[in-house]
């Protein structure tokens, strides 16, 4: 049995305000929750159906989390998903490092990526390429927004998002911005490593940031007005790991 | 004033069955609808609010479509979107060519891409790189599904989706499949041009198709289990247009 208070608490975590206040977020799924065990994310409570308890009986006790047995209908009430699964965890928002981008190595900066699906895909792509830290502006979506958590498919276990005002980045770090016009992205291979800025889905990169960056572009020849931000980030990440 | 019958007809186009039966689909938005004018897509009816009529008064009469003036509240009832815009069009599903992939040139085949957002992003990315035709399996999402239409951001005006059973592709066309293991994608530059197969979001490429393809991979070194299908397609498209 879960109490009304528990139900209310879990649902409050849909809202940023309560996530920040409680330093907690929700992750759901029979793949995602086990993936978060033994990761940088600490799980406070795991709600599990009978099936979930049975299938993951070897894993769950190791988690250090409170394990709460729930019925299928209780899970339905707890879940944020249309099709609830057997495991739902309340996790702790980890302290992010306050590292800054460095010269001499490639890193990424997200300038107001607001779409949770895009952010989740970028985090998953970064994880694929072994990038463990992404820098971003204050207005970029939250990593622990339920939609980002689900879209990242477990990559939040390995990738952190560091909110860094652009002005705090050391002057010595070379900056490159993905724009409509500029040098072809393949020329990045000849440039000193530094920070790659990926802009907002709708309006691109803010003018003040763009003015501080060298522009590069992903040459196209078709009719689309722009590339999706996650696709653009993926192309650059793939290129930097597999340069010509 | 719009009739109940019109409202019912427009809403029926949310369903594949009625789209196919009526050879019609819905596109919405103050950018999307004008982009479809003068494209390969024929517009049957354009529903426009007073603002829409005023802002696009130069464009709309050229469309050859029936122009229907609607109030804001009527638009709210017609629209499939949470935030309706000033223009909604009922468009004709164009006849797709029955072309087949050819040897000597690169083309793409989608094996059961079912997520409309992913398909829309792939279509938009193809459009960016000037690809006007994508081949796909029977179970790939429909191009004229409202979510694909909106996610493609106008690229359906320039990119067609051709449903082709894999068995009908001429034996002479070299086939390459994006897999977890295989030659690095940059080796595609040394291979004879042919068909690139991108697999389903969850289960990858069907075994029978994979068995007929040479496997390539996008080398990663992190923890993510896979790349998003649209990101993977974008990386390969970018590479083939900007080979080393």
> Does residue B121 sit at the A interface (CB-CB below 8 Å)?
yes
**Long-range contacts of A223-227, Cβ-Cβ distance < 8 Å, separation of 24 or more:** A223/B127, A223/B154, A223/B155, A223/B157, A223/B158, A224/B124, A224/B125, A224/B127, A224/B128, A224/B153, A224/B154, A224/B155, A224/B158, A225/B153, A225/B154, A226/A180, A226/B128, A227/B124, A227/B125, A227/B128, A227/B234
- Shared domain for B119 and B207, answered yes or no, is yes
Parent domain of B188: 107-241
Spatial CA neighbour of B121 closest among A230, A147, A95, A29: A230
Contacting residues of A for B155, CB less than 8 Å apart: 222-224
Q: B128 to each of A224, B117, B154, B178, how far by Cα in Å?
A: 5, 16, 11, 21
> What pLDDT is recorded for position A84?
96
Confidence of residue B205 (pLDDT cuts 50, 70, 90): very high
Question: B88 and B140: one domain?
Answer: no
- Tell me, what CATH number does A200's domain have? 3.40.1280.10
Whether residue B153 lies inside any domain: the answer is yes
How would you classify residue B100: left for phi > 0, otherwise alpha for psi between -120 and 50, otherwise beta? beta
How many helices and strands, by DSSP H and E, does chain A display?
Answer: 9, 10
Is A101 a member of any domain?
Answer: no
pLDDT of residue A244: 61
Question: How many domains does chain A divide into?
Answer: 2
B157: chain A residues, CB-CB within 8 Å: 223
Q: Is B222 on the interface with A (CB under 8 A)?
A: yes
Clarify whether residues B119 and B230 are in a common domain: yes
A41 and A71 assigned to the same domain: yes
Percent of chain A with pLDDT over 90: 84
**What integer pLDDT is reported at residue A74 of this predicted model?**
96
Q: Which two tokens stand for residue A66?
A: 């409170």
pLDDT of residue A119 exceeding 80, the answer is yes
Q: Please determine, for residue A22, whether its predicted confidence score (pLDDT) is greater than 90.
A: yes
- CB distance B133 to B100 below 8 Å: no
Q: What is the spatial distance between Cα A104 and Cα A166, in angstroms, rounded to a whole number? A: 18
Q: What is the pLDDT of residues A152-193, one digit of tens each?
A: 989 999 999 999 999 999 999 999 999 999 999 999 999 999
Task: Report percent pLDDT > 70 for chain B.
Answer: 100
The alpha carbon of B183 is separated from its chain's Cα centroid by a whole number of angstroms, namely: 28
- Nearest-CB residue to B230 (from A224, A225, A231): A231
Judging contacts by C-beta atoms under 8 Å, the chain A residues touching residue B220 are 128-130, 241
> Is residue A97 included in any domain, yes or no?
no
Chain B hits for A41, CB-CB cut-off 8 Å, are none
Burial class of residue A230 (count of CB atoms within 10 Å of its CB; 0-12, 13-18, 19+): buried
Note whether residue A33 is domain-resident. yes
In the block, tokens 């070379």 appear at A174
Give me the mean pLDDT over the B72-87 stretch: 96
User: Which residues on chain A are in Cβ contact (under 8 Å) with B228?
Assistant: 121, 124-125, 230, 234
Residues A71 and A135 in one domain: no
CB pairs under 8 A between A and B: 125
B158–chain A nearest CA distance, Å: 7
Is there a domain that residue B229 lies in? yes
Q: Are A69 and A48 a contacting pair, CB within 8 Å?
A: yes
Residue B197 has pLDDT above 70, yes or no: yes
pLDDT at B71 over 80: yes
- Among chain B residues, the shortest Cα distance to A123 is held by B224
The total number of residues shown for chain A amounts to: 244
Average pLDDT, chain B: 94
Dig out the tokens for B134 from the structure: 């994508």
Pair A201, A80 in one domain = no
End of a domain among B34, B58, B92? B92
Last residue of a domain, one of B57, B92, B127: B92
* Among candidate residues B43, B64, B92, the one where a domain is terminated: B92
Cβ–Cβ below 8 Å for B238 and A244? no
Give B71→chain A minimum CA distance, Å. Answer: 27
For residue A180, how many C-alpha atoms fall within 13 Å in the half-sphere facing its CB?
11
Within a domain: residue B140?
A: yes
The answer on B31 and B135 residing in a single domain is: no
Please check whether residues A130 and A178 belong to one and the same domain. Answer: yes
B198: confidence class by pLDDT, cuts 50, 70, 90? very high
In terms of domains, do A207 and A171 share one?
Answer: yes
| Interface predicted TM-score (ipTM) | 0.91
Q: Which of residues 154-213 of A touch B (CB under 8 A)?
A: 154-155, 157-158, 184-186
Q: Is any Cβ of chain A less than 8 angstroms from the Cβ of B241? A: yes
- Same domain for A201 and A125: yes
- For residue A140, pLDDT over 80 is answered with yes
Residues B113, B183, single domain; the answer is yes
Residue A243 reports pLDDT greater than 80: no
Q: Tell if the CB–CB gap between A222 and B129 is shorter than 8 Å.
A: yes
Q: Distance (Å) from the C-alpha of residue B79 to the closest C-alpha of chain A?
A: 22
Share above pLDDT 70 across residues of chain A, in percent, rounded to a whole number = 100
How large is the average pLDDT for residues A97-117? 93
What's the CATH number where B71 sits?
Answer: 3.30.1330.30
What are the tens digits of pLDDT across the range A188-221? 999 999 999 999 988 899 999 999 999 999 999 8
Residue B100 lies in a domain: no
pLDDT higher than 90, residue A60: no
| Residues A112, A230 within the same domain | yes
Q: Is the pLDDT of residue A98 over 90?
A: no
Interface touch A125/B224, C-beta < 8 Å: yes
Could you tell me if A231 lies within 8 Å of chain B, comparing CB atoms? Answer: yes
Interchain contact, B158 vs A223, CB within 8 Å: yes
- B87 belongs to a structural domain: yes
Q: Which candidate from A130, A219, A238 shows the least CB-CB separation from B222?
A: A130
Q: Give me the pLDDT at residue A126, please.
A: 97
Q: A228 contacts in B (CB within 8 Å)? A: 121, 124-125, 230, 234
Contact: A228, B224; criterion CB under 8 Å: no
What per-residue confidence (pLDDT) applies to B244? 61
What does the pLDDT read at residue B4? 94
């Amino acid at each position: 049995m879960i109490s009304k208070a528990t139900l209310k608490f879990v649902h409050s975590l849909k809202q940023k305000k309560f996530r920040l206040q409680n330093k907690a977020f929700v992750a759901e799924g029979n793949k995602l929750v086990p993936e978060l065990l033994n990761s940088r994310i600490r799980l406070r409570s795991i709600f599990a159906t009978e099936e979930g308890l049975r299938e993951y009986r070897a894993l769950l006790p190791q988690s250090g989390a409170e394990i709460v047995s729930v019925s299928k209908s209780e899970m339905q009430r707890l879940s944020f998903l249309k099709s609830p699964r057997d495991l739902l965890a309340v996790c702790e928002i980890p302290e992010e490092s306050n590292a800054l981008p460095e010269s001499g190595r490639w890193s990424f900066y997200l300038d107001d990526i607001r779409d949770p699906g895009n952010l989740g895909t970028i985090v998953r792509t970064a994880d694929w390429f072994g990038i463990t830290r992404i820098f971003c502006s204050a207005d970029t979506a939250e990593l622990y927004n339920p939609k980002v958590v689900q879209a990242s498919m477990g990559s939040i276990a390995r990738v952190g998002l560091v909110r860094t005002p652009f002005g705090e980045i050391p002057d010595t770090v070379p900056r490159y911005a993905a724009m409509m016009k500029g040098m072809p992205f393949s020329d990045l291979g000849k440039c000193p490593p530094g920070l790659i800025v990926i802009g907002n889905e709708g309006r691109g990169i803010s003018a003040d940031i763009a003015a501080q960056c060298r522009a590069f572009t992903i040459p196209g020849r078709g009719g689309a007005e722009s590339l999706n931000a996650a696709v653009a980030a993926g192309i650059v990440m793939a290129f930097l790991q597999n340069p010509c």
